Chains A and B, each alone.
Chain A
Amino acid sequence: MTKSADKQNYLLAELNELTKFHYSHCEPYKQMLSKSNHALEVTTLEEIPFLPVQLFKMLALHSIAENDIFKVLTSSGTTGQQVSKIYLDKDTAKAQTKALVEVMTPLLGKKRLPMIMIDTKNVLKDRKSFSARGAGILGFSNFGRRHFYLLHDDMTIDWDGLNEFLEQHKDERVLLFGFTFMIWQYFYQATLSKGIKLNLKDSVLIHGGGWKKLKDQSVSNERFKDMLFQQFGIQSIHNYYGMVEQVGSIFVECPKGHLHTPVYADVIIRDPLSFQPLPFGEQGLIQVLSTLPKSYPGHSLLTEDLGTIHGEDDCSCGWKGKYFSVAGRIPKAELRGCSDTFAFDKKVGKTI
């Protein structure tokens, strides 16, 4: 049996178990599946029922008792927008931390590196309810030591602190972590406008959070990497793709620029209109699967992101798993569909 078939069988068994578990422990989930006539035990990954990520913005979905809720993750969202609420118990939270270690160790090694957080310390203020930014920072902070928060509350750089940090760790490999847009805006642009160049050449930068704002400024992943290399000398820059709504789905960019699926997670690309699975090479909606969400029914989710799977187990970087890229979010539904959503019937002449 091939490696990919092994993984499929393993995932299928685990995910079928999760469907059944959540069906019997989460009443709303049970209603959803039974009323839409979904089978609980299926024979391919493609048949596993998937919930739209949006649903977590509208409903509190969990398969654990209220007093087993260990922490609640929330998605980032601009003011006025509803945010997702994701309920974790201790085990799921622990599994998430462990999964992150497994994914990141090949990239960062076992030793903890001095770490620069390209964010403000304030983002961690509320310990009970974590925003996506806070959760990311807290999760990744385990890979570093001597954490230095680069930004003041007003998003300006703490130059004194930075200089002191770099002086202390001048011959060491440094880990930098932050959100793609914030790195660009508050670190790269700010140093660029001040005409300051830094030498961080042995360091590694991990970043995520989405490209929407940078796309608006026509900054591609390639340009991002080039500019950061020119400005800071960083050669090892890795984007990751993931979402609060699915713990365990951390897809990290390999040296060849592709996102890879870890062993306990998978992606399926679906036609954006029919939701039918698409073959490798075709762009569609990204469905994410993960064996980790045990405290809430989030093991199979349909995202609003478009992406393409390029292959499986044969990426030239040497990493295994399906490898893919993300093209961005689908455009928002217009209040009025008409011409841009629907094409009209050609037959005209309704009588009034």
Chain B
Amino acid sequence: MRFYWPATSERWQTQIESVIQMRPLKPFDQRVVAFLQSLSKTILKDHTYRRYPELITLAYWLRRAHIEEMKASFLKRADNRLLRARGVALHFAPSNVDTIFVYSWVLSMLAGNNNILRISGREQQQTDLLIAAILKEIAQHPEVASRTAIVTYEHNDEITRFLSERCHIRIVWGGDETVRKIRSIPLAPLATELVFPDRFSLSAFEAKEVINANESDMKEFVHQFYNDGFWFAQMACSSPRLIAWIGSPDLIALAQKRFWNELNDHLDAHLEELSAAMQVQKLTTGYLLSIDNETTSFMHQQNFTRVQLEAINREMKERHCGGGLFYELELPKLKDLSSLLDDKDQTLSYFGFTREALIDFAKAIENRSIDRIVPVGQSLAFGGVWDGYDLMMHFTRELVIR
């Protein structure tokens, strides 16, 4: 086991125990808020972080004004109930979207918990920069420092068992395999668990609105979609991988033409680097999907790959390789999409629908699918409610007084 924090040379068990035995703080402790503000400033001040928009996004999320907003919303939901920290939170961060561990950690420390974080340990510049900023600030904030352990270790059931026996809540971000593996290791009897497995996300566009958008709205729309669909190489669970086109076939054909041309121009200007491996992967996936009866056409271009479908199944979702591969469906009404969704579907980002249409759609969903419906451009924006869980509520417990 390797410790990013604390930086002592004691046995790892001793270091973990020292975090565990700390008394938890009250929700929104001023000293925690102060730490988060310093962290935000460190990231925003230093130009090396500018290259990574997800780090800048994180820094904005940590600003005082936003923390105050979260606090107000927390107090409103607490509604005079007495909410306390759970105690020790054990987080497993995913390797593909490395900033997630900070969001999970931040919400948990705002709830007042002591935190043990296992991060992937893969060499990634974003993670290294982020850790550097954290280490720089944490030493100045003893109340946070003494309640935090950031570690990495190769998958090891014994270590995971040791940690799981000592936490009050375990949070697992990762693929289905990771979730299964970690779930097989028992928790302390009193502990609870939040898991965030693989998900699939999609966009829905109203064809008529795409055609009618004026030039600057169209540019903005395409720009927002680019942020959603191309950041994290389309590998985040909320990255849109399917576009549902809504309208009559004629309108859809016109809308598609306009959208893909505009997106192609945008990508020509903004997408500076692609990898050969990803290009080959997309070509392979497209051919592979072509043998499915539900696939009607497959178009591979340098900037993106399109696979048009009549319906979508679970296997197709699992085959998706990221890197700018888009499945497309054509439907007369947004409501028609609801019957094609399954448990795996998480975020729907939209363009051109009225709130009524969105509510109608949401009400028409009868299974466990869809946890977020957001305007295009917001797919990757992390929120305190994720996969249907209000994280702050889960990171705390209620003390009842009658």
Instruction: Known contacts A36-B286, A58-B284, A352-B382; decide if A338 and B277 are in contact (CB<8 Å).
Output: no
Kindly state the separation between the CA atoms of A349 and B230 in the bound complex, as whole angstroms. 16
- Judged by a CB distance under 8 angstroms, whether B296 is at the interface is yes
Contacts of A302 in B (CB 8 A): 280, 283
The residue that B280 contacts in the complex, of A54, A335, A337, with Cβ under 8 A, is A54
Q: Which of A54, A273, A331, A335 contacts B95 (CB 8 A)?
A: A335
Contacts of B315-357 to chain A: CB distance below 8 A: 321-323
Does A333 sit within 8 A of B, measured CB to CB? yes
Q: Are A333 and B275 in contact (CB under 8 A)?
A: yes
A350 within 8 A of B: yes
CB pair B57–A338 under 8 Å, yes or no, is no
Q: Tell me if B232 counts as interface (CB < 8 A to partner A).
A: yes
Say if the beta carbon of A220 comes within 8 Å of chain B. Answer: no
Q: Chain A 328-352 against B: per-residue CB contact (8 Å), 1 yes, 0 no?
A: 0011111111111111111111111
Interface centre among B61, B270, B299 (most CB of A within 10 A): B270
Within 8 A of B (CB), among A289-339: 302, 304, 306, 330-339
Report B5 CB to chain A, min CB distance, Å.
23
Contact A350 B298 (CB under 8 A): no
CB interface residues, B 225-252, toward A, < 8 Å:
226-227, 230-235
> Is A275 interfacial (CB 8 A cutoff)?
yes
- Report yes or no: A52 in contact with B287, Cβ–Cβ below 8 A: yes
Residues in B whose Cβ lies below 8 Å from that of A349 = 56-57, 60
- The interface residues of chain A lying within 8 Å CB-to-CB of B281 are 54, 333
Query: A59 contacts the other chain (Cβ, under 8 Å)?
Result: yes
14 of the cross-chain contacts (CB-CB < 8 Å) are A27-B291, A35-B297, A36-B290, A54-B280, A59-B291, A285-B276, A304-B277, A337-B278, A338-B231, A338-B233, A342-B230, A342-B231, A344-B51, A350-B381
A337 CB to closest chain B CB (Å) equals 2
Question: Nearest chain-A residue to B57 (Cβ)?
Answer: A350
Task: Please tell me if the beta carbons of A32 and B277 are within 8 angstroms of each other in the complex.
Answer: no
B interface with A by C-beta (< 8 Å) = 50-54, 56-57, 60-61, 66, 95-98, 124-126, 223, 226-227, 230-235, 270-281, 283-284, 286-288, 290-291, 295-300, 302, 321-323, 377-378, 380-383
Given contacts A342-B233, A350-B377, contact A337 B287 (CB under 8 A): no
Tell me how far the C-beta of A287 lies from the nearest C-beta in chain B, rounded to whole angstroms: 11
Q: Which residues of B contact A334 (CB under 8 A)?
A: 233, 275
Give Cα A347–Cα B124 distance, bound, in whole angstroms.
22
Asked whether, in the complex, the Cβ of A36 is within 8 Å of the Cβ of B287, the reply is yes
Bound form: Cα–Cα A31–B295 in Å: 9
B276 contacts A32, C-beta separation under 8 Å? no
Q: Do A341 and B223 contact each other (CB < 8 Å), given the known contacts A35-B297, A352-B383?
A: no
Contact at A336–B297, with CB atoms within 8 Å?
A: no
Chain A residue nearest to B98 in the complex (CB): A336
Contact (Cβ within 8 A) B381 A345: no
* CB of A43 within 8 Å of the partner chain: no
Tell whether A32 pairs with B291 under 8 Å between CB atoms, given A337-B323, A345-B223, A350-B381: yes
Cα of A336 to Cα of B381 in the assembled complex, Å: 17
Whether B51 lies near A339 (C-beta < 8 A) is yes
Ranked nearest first, the 5 interchain pairs of A and B with the lowest CB-CB distance are A337-B233, A272-B276, A343-B272, A333-B277, A28-B291
A218 within 8 A of partner (CB): no
A37 within 8 A of B: yes
- Once A55-B284, A272-B276 are accepted as A-B contacts, the answer to whether A31 and B290 lie under 8 Å apart by CB is yes
On chain A, the residues within 8 Å of B233 by CB distance are 334, 336-338, 341-342
State the CA gap A54–B280 with chains docked (Å).
9
Rounded to whole angstroms, the CA-CA distance of A341 and B232 in the bound complex is 9
Complex interface: chain A residues within 8 A of B381 (CB): 350-352
A51 within 8 A of B: yes
CB <8 Å contact, B291 and A36 = no
Contact of A36 among B61, B231, B297, B377 (CB under 8 A): B297
Q: How far is the CA of A58 from the CA of B56 in the complex (A)?
A: 40
Closest to A336 in B: B96
Is A274 among interface residues, defined by CB-CB distance under 8 A? yes
Complex CA distance for A349 and B44, rounded to whole angstroms: 12
When distances are taken between beta carbons in the complex, the residues of chain B under 8 Å from A31 are 290-291, 295
Q: Contact: B97 with A336, CB < 8 Å?
A: yes
- The residues of B that contact A342 with a CB separation of less than 8 Å are 230-231, 233, 271-274
Who on chain A is nearest to B271 by CB? A342
Cβ of B280 and Cβ of A35 under 8 Å apart? no
A residues near B126, Cβ cutoff 8 Å: 338-339
CB interface residues, A 185-201, toward B, < 8 Å? none
Verify B298–A331 contact, CB threshold 8 A.
no
In this complex, what residue of B is CB-closest to A54? Answer: B284
Contacts of B230 in A (CB 8 A): 342
A36 touches B299 (CB 8 A): yes
Chain B: CB-nearest residue to A344: B53
Cβ 8 A contact of A339, one of B52, B235, B271, B283: B52
A348-B380 Cα distance, complex, nearest whole Å? 13
Nearest opposing residue in chain B for A274, CB measure: B302
Cross-chain contact B276 with A341 (CB below 8 angstroms): no
| Interface contact B235-A52, CB-CB below 8 Å | no
| Known A-B contacts A285-B276, A336-B97; A35 and B296 likewise in contact (beta carbons under 8 Å) | yes
In the complex, which residue of chain A has the Cβ closest to the Cβ of B59?
A348
Check A272/B53 contact, CB under 8 A, given A31-B291, A344-B231: no
A288 vs chain B, min Cβ distance (A): 14
- Give the most central of B66, B98, B274, B280: most A CB within 10 Å: B280
Q: Which single member of B97, B297, B302, B382 contacts A37 (CB below 8 Å)?
A: B297
**When the two chains form their complex, are residues B279 and A304 in contact, meaning their CB atoms are under 8 A apart?**
no
Q: Determine how close the nearest CB of chain B comes to the CB of A286; give it in whole angstroms.
A: 11
Residues of the A chain whose Cβ atoms lie less than 8 Å from the Cβ of B270: 343, 345-346
Q: Given the complex of chains A and B, what is the CA–CA distance between A274 and B283 in angstroms? A: 11
Contact of B273 among A35, A341, A347 (CB under 8 A): A341
Partner of A32, one of B97, B235, B271, B290: B290
